[in-house]
Amino acid sequence: MQNFEQFLLDNLPQSQSIHPTYEAALQNMLKAGGKRFRPALLLGVVKAYNPLLTESAYHAAYAIELLHTYSLIHDDLPAMDDSPLRRGHPTLHMTYDEVTAILVGDALNTYSFEVLSNAPFSDEIKVKLMSELAHNGGLNGMVLGQAIDCYFENKPLKLEDIKILHTNKTAKLIAAALKMGAIIVGRDDEAEKLYDFGIKLGLLFQIQDDILDVTQSSDEAGKLTNNDEEKNSFVTILGLDEALREANLLAEELHKSMESFDESLQRELSPILTKYINRHKN
């Protein structure tokens, strides 16, 4: 991922503006790092099937990281989670102001599609990638999940409905990363299988985040923890022990699914997946 990180830093959003802090604000959360989990999944699929396309795929990996980063910036706003910390750094509305944070989120959202439009792929592939990113990150994906999450704050949901919430809010963008990798290398036969795997992986990822929210300090997590008491988190609804049991069951199911991957896909994805599938056990 070191080469991808350099690509990201070499292609930070630029602005020709008289605004004194706009460009710095655009780059702030991207420079702060993060897991780069979604780019790693996309690039892992590409490396498994066609390593020669890896550098070209950096554009798609960057696009999904841009969209994800925009979602974090908006998620931290006072109107949503009102969080002062993200990736170990003050959130944008704390560093600058709320207006700047809103506009930077908007800018990174749209810039993700500009980056994809300039990717060195055929127009057909670029349209497919844009469609996946828009569908899973937009009104029938992540944004829908955020809307459900905010509307039902202080209104406990059933477990089935919480899974719908977090399938949209978290899982779909993770699933999209895997599917976009398959699209880039022309593996349509693997695309839906990887997408379905990604939905389960995304749900596990969210359960783990909910567990870590109550078991880690803000310094350890790099963001405000113990902040989900009013939210429909898995821990809030199920309790910590039952959430851990759900995480363990999903982790076991994902490990079994990984065994059905062909050898090249296992080789590339196993180091990434094993680390994250087991992170709630650390």
Neighbours of 256 (CB within 10 A): 9
User: What is residue 228's predicted lDDT score, i.e. its pLDDT?
Assistant: 67
User: What is residue 2's predicted lDDT score, i.e. its pLDDT?
Assistant: 86
How does pLDDT run along the chain (282 residues), one tens digit per residue? 889 999 999 999 999 889 999 999 999 999 999 999 999 999 999 999 999 999 999 999 999 999 999 999 999 999 999 999 998 899 999 999 999 999 999 999 999 999 999 999 999 999 999 999 999 999 999 999 999 999 999 899 999 999 999 999 999 999 999 999 999 999 998 999 999 999 999 999 999 999 998 888 777 667 767 666 778 899 999 999 999 999 999 999 999 999 999 999 999 999 999 888 988 876
- Rounded to the nearest 10°, the torsion over CA 28, 33, 34, 39 is 100
Rounded Cα gap, residues 101 and 70, in angstroms: 9
At the topology level, CATH places domain 2-277 in: Farnesyl Diphosphate Synthase (1.10.600)
